[in-house]
Structure 1
Amino acid sequence: MTTTQKKKKSYPVLEDIHGAKYQPMDELARGGQGVVYTTEHPGVLVKGFTSKDDKVKQKWRDHMEWLIRQDIADLKLARPLTLLKAPRMGYVMELMDGLIPLKDIFDRFINASDEVSEENPAPHIQNYLDEGGLRRRIRILAQLARTLNQLHCRGMLYGDLSPDNVFVSADSAYAETWLIDCDNISFESHCDFTVHTPDYGAPEVVREEAMLSSLTDCWSFAVIAYQLLTHNHPLKGDVVNEGEPEVEDEALRGEHPWINDPDNFDNECFTNLPMQLIENSALPALFQKTFGLGKNTPSERPSMAQWLEALTEVDEHLFVCHECNGQTMLSLDNVDLENASCFFCDSAIDEKLVLFEEFIKLSEHEKQDKYPELSGNTIVTGRKVCLQTGDQKELKRLMPSFSYDKVATDHIQLEYTDTMLIITPVEPLSISRGEGKIQAFKKKISLKITARGRNDEPYCIHLGDPQLTHVFWQFRW
C-alpha cells in the first residue's frame, strides 16, 4: 500500500457483522487490493476490498474469515477483527496511534540524497542521524524480524512484504513496528498467492516461477533491511541506475549481480551509505547469502531467526555518541574501550559505558569429560552487551529465536541511572569479585556510581548453581 494525501471528504457510515458502526474519516493508505481509512475511534481502522470480481470477492471473504479465527493476537499485526456487513467488502482492524509507513522514511532519505551539493555534501548522513540513526533502524528491523519469525514458526507466511505495509513510530526516538494489510497471511501449504510489490518480490516470484512462501518473505525482508541500513536497493547499482528500464527488470529477475557481490563488480554502487557501520557484525554475511547464492537458490536464504539473532547482537553492541548523537557498533571480535570512537565524528567513547561479557564456567567433571584440552574452566562465548546511562536492557542466556520471545528462566534486568546500576534477577543468582567469594542474591542489587573504579577486580554474575556448569556475565564497576 502507498500513503496518499488525506482527503477532506465525507464517507458513508460502515457497519460490521455484529452491528457496530464506524465513520471513515481519512484515507490512510491505498493499494491494488483495497483502501484503509481511519475512523472516529482512536486506533481503529477499516479496510475496504476494491475488487469487482464476484469470485475474487468470495475467495477473499472466505480467507478473511479463516484469518480472523487464527491465533495471532499476540503478534504486532493490524489483524482483521471482524468483517463489514454485506454487501460491503472489508474488515475492521486496530493499529496503535503515532505510526507512519516505513515508506515515508525511505522517501525522506531519497529526498535528502537528491539534495547533495558542493555546499551540502552529506545531507543524507544528517538525515540518517535525524531519523534515529543506526539503533532505531536496527530495532525496527529486529521487531519486524521477530514478527515474521513468529509467523513462520506457526507455519504461516506474510506474503506481500514492502515498506508500504510496515508501519513504524513517527517519532524518531522510538522504534515501534507493526505490519498492516494482512490479507495475504496464509499457511504455506495453502498459499496460492503471487502478488508482490515492485522492487520487493523475490526473483522467482517476479519470474512467475514460484508462489509466495516463507523464503520469499525472507527475501523481501532482506531488501527492506539493506535499504534501511544503506539507503540503496541491493540490486540497483550503477549499471541499473544508468541503464535502460529493461536492465532494471532483468536485475529484479535475478539476472545481474547484487551491488556488493565480491566476485562480480559489474553492478557496483558508490552512492549508498558505507557498510562499515555494520561490517563487524553478522549482517554483511547474511546479505551476501541472500543476494548472492540465495538470489536464485531460495533454500540458501537465511531464516528470520538468523536475522533476528544478528540484529539483536548489533543492538547489544551499539553505543551512543554524546557529541553528535550518532550510534557506533563496537567490534565483536576485539572490544577496545580505550581506543573506540564515534564513526561519525571520531569523539571518544562514553567513559561511563559499562560492558557486560558472557562466559561459560565448566564444572571440573564436565571439563575433564568434554573439554580436556582447555587450560582453564572458562569458555568465552564472544557475546558482549553495552550499557550507558539511561539504558534499560535484559541479559538473556539464549540468543533470539522463537523461544527467545518467551520469558526465559535465566535472565537479568539492568537499569543504569545517573546515580547507580541496578541489577534485578528474574531467578536467584550469585555475584563474585573475580575468583573471590560467591554471594547469592534473590532481590535487586544496586551499585552506586560513586563506588565505581575503586576495585580492579571485575564483578561476575553467575546464573545457576556456581558448582555446576553455568553461564556468568562479567563487568567492571
Structure 2
Amino acid sequence: MSTNKTKKLPILEDIRGAKYPLKSQLAIGGQGVVYTTELPQVLIKGFTNKDEIAKKRWHSHIEWLIRQDIADLKLARPLVLLKEPRMGYVMELMDGLVPLRSLLDSYIEATDSISEENQTPHIQNYLDQGGLRRRIRILCQLARTINQLHSRGMLYGDISPDNIFVSDDPNYSETWLIDCDNISFESHSGLTVHTPDYGASEVVRGEAMLSSLTDCWSFAVIAYQLLTHNHPLKGDLVNDGEPEIEDEALRGEHPWINDPDDPDNECCANLPIQLIEESKLPHLFQQTFGTGKNMPLERPSMAEWLEALTEIDEHLFVCHNCGGHSLLPLDNSDLDDISCSFCDFAVDEQLVQFEEFIFLSDKEKQETYPELDGNKIVTGRKVCLQPGDKKELKRLLPSFSYDKIPSDPIQLEYSDSCLMVIPVEPLHISRGNEHIQEFSKKIRLKADNRGKSNEPYCIHLGNPQDTHIFWEFRW
C-alpha cells in the first residue's frame, strides 16, 4: 500500500528578516508561481526562470518597481524582495478574491448542457454571477487602474483573466491586478510577453513591443469576453475551422465576429450585443477590432473606455422579476415603454430618471447657437435610481477627472420613504416657473408627495445666469 504525503511548503524570509510560512499554491504562469501564506492578505510571488541573465534582469526590475509611486492603485505590487537565493517578492492582496478566469470558466460549464429549445441555463448563470451591472463595475475598476498607470507613463504589459482578481461574492465587484512584473515605463518596455488570446495582433505577429496601445487591446478583448462570453476574434469561421485559422485570426487576418462589413466570422453562439447597444461600447469595440486591429493608433484610450463604462453604470436598472440589469434607452424618456432585456418584465414604477442638459446664456445662444429653439441643449446623459440606490451625478469631462476629483457636487440617496439630494457644494434648484433658489443643505423629497406635480425639478451646477450644466428630474 502506498500513501501520498502532501509536500510541506517551506517558510520563506525576506531581505528584512520577516518570515512567511507558505500555505498553498494560488496560481502558476510561464515564469512565476504565486503562493498564499499563513499571514492574512499576504502572498508570495516566485520567479521560476532558471536563466541567470533573466534572473538578474528580473531582480533589478523588481527593485525598481518597489520604488515607484503606485501604492494608491489597485495593484498587488511588490513590497519587499525575498532573501537570496530565493527569487521572489512579497505582496498584499485582500481576502475573498478569485481570478476573473474562474467567472468565465463557470459560465462555460453552465452552457455545456444547453439545448436549442432551452436557453435558460446560460442566462441564469449570467444573472447568478452578478449580471450586467457587476461586469460593468468590474470593467470600470480595471479601466481606472490601467488608465492611472497610463497617465503616469507606464504600461501593465500582460493583461489576462489570470492576473485580474475579483470578488468571489457576486454581490461585489472589487477588482485588482496581481502580476506586476511587466509594469514599466512605456519608453523602456522592450517586452513582447503576452498571454495567448490576449496579445495585440501586432505583438502576435512579432512586429511590435508592448505599449499602452497593446494594453488597450487586451482590455478590449477581456471586456468583450466578460460581457458576451465569447472571444471577439473567434466566430464560427474560427471555431469550426482548422487550428491554423485561429492562429490567423489572432494575427489579425480575419474579421472580428461583429464586423459590420464582413460577416464571414460572425458567431451564432454570442450573447446578444443588444445588452449594451444603448451605449458607446459597440463603437469602441469596432474601433478596436475593426480599424484598430491593424492600426493601433486608432484604438480607444483607457480614458474613453472608462467614460463609456461609467455612463453605462449610471443608467442601469434592475428588474424586480428576474434580478437582471438592463440599460435604460437613452432616446426614450417614456418609462412605460421600457422593459427588462432578459424577461421583458415592465420597468420599476419607482424608478427616478435624471437627465443632463446644458443651459446657454442669452449671449452665448445669440453668438453661437442662433438657430436653437430655446436655451436648452440635450447632452444625452441619463442617470436612473431605484429605492436602495446611492449615486453621484458625475462630471464626465475631462475623462481623467475620475481620478482627480474626490467627490462630485451632487449626491443622491433613494429609499422607500424619500429621495435625498445632497449638495457637496452650494447649488441652485428650481421647479417649473419658480424662482431659482440656492441650497447648501440636504433636500428631502417625500415619497408621499411624488406625482402631485408634473413640473420637473432642475438642479443647476454653476451660476444660473451663465452657461452651465443642469440636471432635470420629476418627482
TM-score, normalised by the number of residues in structure 1: 0.96
Shift of 1:118: 5.6
Q: Structure 1: which 5+ runs fail to align? A: 1-6
Shift of 1:345: 1.0
Match of 1:288 in 2: 286
Match of 2:82 in 1: 84
Cα offsets for 1:208-266 (capped at 9, x unmatched) = 11100011011111110111111100111111111111111111111111111111111
Cα offsets for 1:145-181 (capped at 9, x unmatched) = 1111111111110001000001111000111111010
**Does the aligned pair in 2 maintain the 1:199–1:252 contact within 8 Å?**
yes
Q: CA separation in 2, counterparts of 1:389 and 1:406? A: 29
Q: Work out whether 1:424 is the aligned partner of 2:458.
A: no
> CA, structure 1 residues 429+408, in 2 after alignment: closer, same or farther (shift >3 Å)?
farther
Shift of 1:117: 2.5
What amino acid does structure 2 have at the position aligned with 1:201? G
Shift of 1:120: 4.1
Aligned partner of residue 32 in structure 1, secondary structure = coil
What amino acid does structure 2 have at the position aligned with 1:162? S
Match of 2:470 in 1: 472
Aligned partner of residue 337 in structure 2, secondary structure = coil
Aligned mate of 2:449, from 443, 448, 451: 451
**Does the aligned pair in 2 maintain the 1:309–1:400 contact within 8 Å?**
no
Q: CA separation in 1, counterparts of 2:116 and 2:326? A: 27
Matches within 5 A, 1:331-342: 331-342=329-340
Matches within 5 A, 1:217-366: 217-366=215-364
**Does the aligned pair in 1 maintain the 2:235–2:266 contact within 8 Å?**
yes
- How high is the sequence identity, in percent, across the aligned residues? 74
What amino acid does structure 2 have at the position aligned with 1:356? F
Matches within 5 A, 1:347-386: 347-386=345-384
What amino acid does structure 2 have at the position aligned with 1:80? P
**Does the aligned pair in 2 maintain the 1:397–1:471 contact within 8 Å?**
no
**Does the aligned pair in 2 maintain the 1:420–1:447 contact within 8 Å?**
yes
Q: CA separation in 2, counterparts of 1:292 and 1:340? A: 31
Match of 1:51 in 2: 49
Q: CA separation in 2, counterparts of 1:271 and 1:400? A: 37
Q: Work out whether 1:437 is the aligned partner of 2:432.
A: no
Cα offsets for 1:380-405 (capped at 9, x unmatched) = 11111011111111102234622222
Q: CA separation in 1, counterparts of 2:213 and 2:103? A: 26
Shift of 1:62: 0.7
> CA, structure 1 residues 54+227, in 2 after alignment: closer, same or farther (shift >3 Å)?
same
**Does the aligned pair in 2 maintain the 1:43–1:94 contact within 8 Å?**
yes
**Does the aligned pair in 2 maintain the 1:168–1:175 contact within 8 Å?**
yes
Matches within 5 A, 1:63-212: 63-117=61-115, 120-212=118-210
Aligned partner of residue 62 in structure 1, secondary structure = helix
Shift of 1:410: 5.3
**Does the aligned pair in 2 maintain the 1:409–1:427 contact within 8 Å?**
no
Aligned partner of residue 129 in structure 1, secondary structure = helix
What amino acid does structure 2 have at the position aligned with 1:111? E
Question: Which deviates more from structure 2 when the two are superposed, residues 262-271 or residues 405-414?
Answer: 405-414
**Does the aligned pair in 1 maintain the 2:23–2:35 contact within 8 Å?**
yes
Cα offsets for 1:424-470 (capped at 9, x unmatched) = 11111111112311121112111111111111111111112212222
What amino acid does structure 2 have at the position aligned with 1:105? L
> CA, structure 1 residues 163+368, in 2 after alignment: closer, same or farther (shift >3 Å)?
same
What amino acid does structure 1 have at the position aligned with 2:62? M
What amino acid does structure 1 have at the position aligned with 2:219? F
Question: Which deviates more from structure 2 when the two are superposed, residues 354-363 or residues 461-470?
Answer: 461-470
**Does the aligned pair in 2 maintain the 1:396–1:408 contact within 8 Å?**
no
Aligned partner of residue 474 in structure 1, secondary structure = strand
**Does the aligned pair in 1 maintain the 2:392–2:408 contact within 8 Å?**
no
Aligned partner of residue 170 in structure 2, secondary structure = coil
What amino acid does structure 2 have at the position aligned with 1:390? G
Match of 1:4 in 2: none
> CA, structure 1 residues 340+400, in 2 after alignment: closer, same or farther (shift >3 Å)?
farther
Q: CA separation in 2, counterparts of 1:242 and 1:302? A: 31
> CA, structure 1 residues 472+121, in 2 after alignment: closer, same or farther (shift >3 Å)?
closer
> CA, structure 1 residues 246+282, in 2 after alignment: closer, same or farther (shift >3 Å)?
same
Aligned mate of 1:40, from 14, 28, 38: 38
**Does the aligned pair in 2 maintain the 1:308–1:400 contact within 8 Å?**
no
Shift of 1:365: 2.2
Q: CA separation in 2, counterparts of 1:275 and 1:360? A: 31
**Does the aligned pair in 1 maintain the 2:163–2:178 contact within 8 Å?**
yes
Aligned partner of residue 184 in structure 1, secondary structure = coil
Q: Structure 2: which 5+ runs fail to align? A: none
